[in-house]
């Protein structure tokens, strides 16, 4: 076929040229994602300028211009264009423990460490014997925590009054008590709401809708001002306990709606199959329905927990000193007063809450992906 | 076939219906006992502490002043009047919060899906920061670290001599209406009616002939142009009272309290983060083919979003969006932390402390929030029933 006399016919294949520079590598990516059109390109430039204008000063404020160590606020008042991390360093123990006595603070550390280990055990999907972990977390840990934190003469631990409790550990305590008590209560309420028995259903619906319809602040006010009125004169529950009860009841209503969603998504055949096997209501619920329903709502439960953890900041309205309350209290220290103290304190608090909540939201996304993978 | 009589007792014990009645009777008895003992204790405790047990305090003189009131109120007014002042202030925050958070949330939600990488990333960072820090922290930050750090009134930040910003709040011009101002309102209403009529005509003509007519521009011209024309025709009946320096403070204009500004700003930026996620989820749930079909028809991205994707996404967006609106109403109670006089701060705070009538005051306060929540829930159910896909 190939006739050598025809000069215009190629005898060798053309060399393979690389794609034009604008359609490969970083250039192509930028063209696609940053400058795909005139408006997009203009937007990119404006946003880049905005970032350059905002971010470097912010980083400088937090690092090179900041005061890292100082005995009191004088140096921070002198450097008003930088953060005052020295204030945080000075107050960090107060932020963590509140006014908990110095010599007893190891008890808080031990409780937090045990709680951390148990939560990791429960949260890690492939962990061995998670049922044991759940039992320890929901039953043994609250009792142990109570003995350690409050103290007991039987174990030779001096009693620490709850008015001295404060800081991060009160925030964590409120959130954990909320979750430990709201989960079983929420399951019961959700089952009650789906019960065929009208009085049980009505009672559950009324509780859930009442609590979900009012702000957490009013629930705390109610727990604080009205709980003592509802109880006989002789039992006046302490201030912390009242708020914990309020937090647990509040969280239970939201948990109940989460669990109800899980119960509703269980196929009817599961109920019928369990009944055909001769299971009665409680064995059917406990062995067949709840294990499936609760697995489905793990992301929702984590989401609720994030909300609850953020809501714990509100307990300062009834006089408790949570982490944010401790930060606010520390602002009143006249030794440290200055214009950079409040922004520094809020920045530190924001980092703390962000670290916790962001980690939990990543975990939530992970559980969601796991569930989705199983259902594909 | 009569059953053996000795087994009826045992079978009644295992009869699920009988058991159901027994459980319910037990629960009812427990609830009645709880309510009875609680109310008994409340009565005894209130008597012992000399706390009023009725609602007589409602008509007593409050004796405290409130620094922001939308309805007439003075320290000579009653506690009942103070309740209405607080409720109006809560309603103001809720209405402004909803009106501002919705467009911001939609904009950020759509920005997260933008093909522009840097815009999408900035929107993502915004959403993550807002959703993962407590609202109270944000409110305190805006109030204590930003608004309190503004200059004193004498060094107010001045925008064209119209708007002043200082640590006592934001001052904007106050309109003063003279005789003839009602013509402007009338012209505005007429403009709105005209705009709707124009849109109807344009749509009908497009359906019949395919010819398009500009709707947005004409509507804007009608809604803005008619009032402006009326303003001049009626002899300029509206003047503006500008804020101006008077001694150490500003006088005149409308002063927006820093508490209100911080509360609105904090609520709006926080809730917008949640609304953005709802919008994003709703848009992503619309089948991809819808967007592709719209581009195949030649609609550009903005029109595809507005005419094809968002209307379908609204069905998914509305229920969680409504619950975010309820959250704004409920979260407005955080006003109590920064001293904005809302319902909780005035009524469950000051009035409760002065009268000591904790049970009555808390019942009324919670009742208000409950009524709002239930009313919105019913409205939402009705809307959902209307909007749900009509499947065969």
Q: Is there a domain that residue A74 lies in?
A: no
Write down the pLDDT at residue B265: 93
Over 70: is that where the pLDDT of A221 sits?
Answer: yes
Element (H, E) at B172: strand B169-172
B276 close to B103: Cβ distance less than 8 angstroms:
no
B113 contact residues in A (CB cutoff 8 A): none
Over 90: is that where the pLDDT of A37 sits?
Answer: no
3 state SS of B390: coil
Say if residue A35 is in the same domain as residue A131. Answer: no
Say if residue B292 is in the same domain as residue B332. Answer: yes
B184 close to B238: Cβ distance less than 8 angstroms:
yes
Our measurement of the distance from residue A57's CA atom to the centroid of its chain's CA atoms, rounded to an integer in Å, reads 30
B140 contact residues in A (CB cutoff 8 A): 324, 328, 346
Taking the CA of residue B220 and the nearest CA in chain A, the distance in Å comes to: 24
Chain segment A268-281, per-residue pLDDT in tens: 899 999 999 989 88
Q: How many CB atoms lie within 10 A of CB A21?
A: 10
Say if residue B288 is in the same domain as residue B361. Answer: yes
Long-range contacts of A280-287 (CB under 8 A, 24+ apart): A281/B16, A285/A191
Write down the pLDDT at residue B10: 66
Q: How many CB atoms lie within 10 A of CB A91?
A: 20
Write down the pLDDT at residue B5: 47
A108 close to A365: Cβ distance less than 8 angstroms:
no
Quick check: B41 and A324 CB within 8 A? no
Over 60: is that where the pLDDT of A2 sits?
Answer: no
d(CA B29, CA B31): 5
Say if residue B296 is in the same domain as residue B369. Answer: yes
Quick check: A218 and B369 CB within 8 A? yes
User: Which among B268, B260, B259 is positioned nearest to B130, based on CA atoms?
Assistant: B268
B250 close to B167: Cβ distance less than 8 angstroms:
no
Instruction: Look up the domain containing B36 and give its range.
Output: 15-49
Q: Which CATH number is A293's domain given?
A: 1.10.3720.10
Specify the number of domains making up chain A. 2
Over 60: is that where the pLDDT of A4 sits?
Answer: no
Instruction: Look up the domain containing A187 and give its range.
Output: 85-375
A217 contact residues in B (CB cutoff 8 A): 333-334, 336, 344
Write down the pLDDT at residue A306: 92
A207 close to A189: Cβ distance less than 8 angstroms:
yes
d(CA A191, CA A293): 11
A317 vs B24, B331, B337: nearest CB: B337
Taking the CA of residue A36 and the nearest CA in chain B, the distance in Å comes to: 8
Say if residue B34 is in the same domain as residue B83. Answer: no
Phi, psi of B55 (to 5 degrees): -105, 20
Higher pLDDT among residues A220 and A227, named by residue? A220
Specify the number of domains making up chain B. 2
Phi, psi of A221 (to 5 degrees): -60, -45
Phi, psi of A3 (to 5 degrees): -100, 115
Could you report the predicted ipTM of this complex, rounded to two decimals?
0.88
Q: Which CATH number is B263's domain given?
A: 1.10.3720.10
Domain boundary among B27, B49, B71: B49
d(CA A227, CA A239): 10
Buried b / exposed e along B120-152 (16+ C-beta atoms within 10 A):
eebbeebbbbbbbbbbbbbbbbbbbbbbeebee
Say if residue A37 is in the same domain as residue A127. Answer: no
CA distance readout (Å), B14 to A288, B5, B20? 22, 15, 10
Q: What is the value of pTM for the model shown? A: 0.86
A193 close to A121: Cβ distance less than 8 angstroms:
no
Chain segment A102-133, per-residue pLDDT in tens: 888 888 888 889 998 998 888 887 878 888 88
Q: Is there a domain that residue A354 lies in?
A: yes
Write down the pLDDT at residue A133: 85
Say if residue A153 is in the same domain as residue A247. Answer: yes
Write down the pLDDT at residue B369: 93
Quick check: B115 and A214 CB within 8 A? no
Say if residue A158 is in the same domain as residue A93. Answer: yes
A213 vs B129, B141, B373: nearest CB: B373
Say if residue A202 is in the same domain as residue A320. Answer: yes
Look-up of token digits 């702000």: A215
Q: Is there a domain that residue A243 lies in?
A: yes
Our measurement of the distance from residue B133's CA atom to the centroid of its chain's CA atoms, rounded to an integer in Å, reads 20
CB of B50 less than 8 A from some CB of A: no
Q: Is there a domain that residue A9 lies in?
A: no
Residues 6+ apart with CB under 8 A from B10: none
d(CA A259, CA A301): 8
Chain segment B167-225, per-residue pLDDT in tens: 887 888 877 777 777 888 888 899 899 999 999 998 898 888 888 888 888 888 888 88
What is the DSSP pairing of strand B169-172 with strand B174-177? Answer: unpaired
Over 80: is that where the pLDDT of A324 sits?
Answer: yes
Say if residue A141 is in the same domain as residue A40. Answer: no
Q: Is there a domain that residue B28 lies in?
A: yes
Q: Which residues of chain B have pLDDT under 50?
A: 1-6, 392
A97 close to A105: Cβ distance less than 8 angstroms:
yes
3 state SS of A27: helix
């Amino acid at each position: 076929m190939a006739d050598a006399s025809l000069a215009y016919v190629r005898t060798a294949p053309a060399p393979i040229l690389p794609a034009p520079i604008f359609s490969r590598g970083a250039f192509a990516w930028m063209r696609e994602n940053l400058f795909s059109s005139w408006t997009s390109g203009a937007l990119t430039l404006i946003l880049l300028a905005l970032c350059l204008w905002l971010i470097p000063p912010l980083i400088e404020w937090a690092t090179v211009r900041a005061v890292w160590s100082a005995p009191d606020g004088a140096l921070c008042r002198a450097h008003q264009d930088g953060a005052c991390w020295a204030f945080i360093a000075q107050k960090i123990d107060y932020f963590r423990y509140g006014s908990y006595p110095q010599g007893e603070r190891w008890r808080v550390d031990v409780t937090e460490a045990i709680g951390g280990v148990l939560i990791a055990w429960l949260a890690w999907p492939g962990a061995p014997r998670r049922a044991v972990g759940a039992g320890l977390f929901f039953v043994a840990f609250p009792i142990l925590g109570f003995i350690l934190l409050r103290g007991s003469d039987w174990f030779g631990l001096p009693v620490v009054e709850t008015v001295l409790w404060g800081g991060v550990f009160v925030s964590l305590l409120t959130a954990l008590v909320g979750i430990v008590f709201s989960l079983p209560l929420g399951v019961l309420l959700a089952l009650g709401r789906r019960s065929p028995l009208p009085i049980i259903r009505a009672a559950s619906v009324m509780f859930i809708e009442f609590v979900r319809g009012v702000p957490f602040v009013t629930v705390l006010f109610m727990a604080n001002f009205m709980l003592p009125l509802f109880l006989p004169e002789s039992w006046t529950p302490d201030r912390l306990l009242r708020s914990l009860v309020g937090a647990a009841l509040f969280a239970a209503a939201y948990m109940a709606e989460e669990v109800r969603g899980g119960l509703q998504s269980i196929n009817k055949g599961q109920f019928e199959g369990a009944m055909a096997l001769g299971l009665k209501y409680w064995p059917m619920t406990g062995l067949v329905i709840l294990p499936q329903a609760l697995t489905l709502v793990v992301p929702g439960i984590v989401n609720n927990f994030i909300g609850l953890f953020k809501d714990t900041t509100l307990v300062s309205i009834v006089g408790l000193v949570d982490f944010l309350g401790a930060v606010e209290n520390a602002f009143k220290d006249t030794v440290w007063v200055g214009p950079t103290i409040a922004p520094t304190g809020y920045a530190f608090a924001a980092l703390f809450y962000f670290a916790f909540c962001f980690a939990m939201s990543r975990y939530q996304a992970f559980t969601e992906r796991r569930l989705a993978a199983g259902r594909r | 076939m009569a059953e053996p009589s000795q087994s009826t007792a045992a079978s009644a014990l295992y009869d699920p219906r009988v058991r159901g009645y027994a459980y319910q009777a037990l629960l009812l008895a427990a609830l009645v006992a709880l309510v009875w003992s609680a109310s008994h204790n409340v009565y005894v405790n209130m008597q012992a502490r000399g706390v009023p047990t009725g609602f007589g305090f409602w008509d007593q003189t409050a004796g405290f002043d409130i620094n922001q009131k939308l309805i007439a109120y003075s320290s000579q007014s009653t506690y009942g009047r103070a309740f209405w002042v607080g409720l109006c202030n809560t309603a103001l925050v809720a209405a402004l919060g909803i009106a501002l958070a919705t467009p911001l949330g939609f904009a950020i939600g759509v920005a997260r899906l933008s093909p522009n990488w840097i815009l999408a990333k900035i929107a993502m960072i915004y959403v993550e920061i807002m959703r993962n820090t407590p609202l109270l922290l944000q409110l305190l930050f805006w109030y204590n670290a930003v608004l309190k750090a503004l200059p004193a009134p004498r060094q107010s930040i001045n925008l064209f001599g119209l708007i002043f910003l200082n640590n006592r709040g934001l001052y904007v011009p106050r309109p003063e209406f003279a005789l003839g101002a009602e013509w402007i309102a009338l012209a505005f209403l007429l403009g709105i009616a005209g705009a709707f009529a124009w849109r109807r005509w344009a749509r009908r003509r497009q359906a019949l002939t395919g010819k398009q007519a500009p709707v947005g521009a004409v509507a804007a011209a009608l809604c803005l142009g008619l009032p402006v024309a009326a303003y001049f025709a009626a002899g300029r009946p509206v003047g503006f009272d500008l804020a101006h320096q008077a001694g150490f403070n500003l006088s005149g204009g409308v002063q927006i309290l820093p508490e209100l500004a911080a509360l609105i700003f904090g609520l709006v930026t926080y809730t917008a983060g949640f609304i953005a996620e709802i919008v994003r989820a709703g848009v992503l749930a619309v089948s991809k083919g819808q967007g592709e079909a719209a581009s195949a028809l030649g609609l550009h991205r903005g029109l595809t979003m507005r005419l094809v994707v968002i209307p379908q996404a609204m069905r998914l967006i509305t229920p969680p969006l409504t619950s975010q609106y309820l959250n704004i109403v409920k979260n407005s109670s955080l006003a109590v932390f920064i001293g904005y006089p809302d319902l909780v701060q005035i009524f469950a705070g000051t009035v409760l402390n002065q009268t000591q009538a904790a049970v009555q005051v808390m019942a009324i306060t919670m009742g208000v929030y409950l009524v709002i929540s239930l009313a919105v829930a019913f409205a939402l159910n009705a809307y959902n029933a209307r909007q749900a896909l009509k499947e065969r």
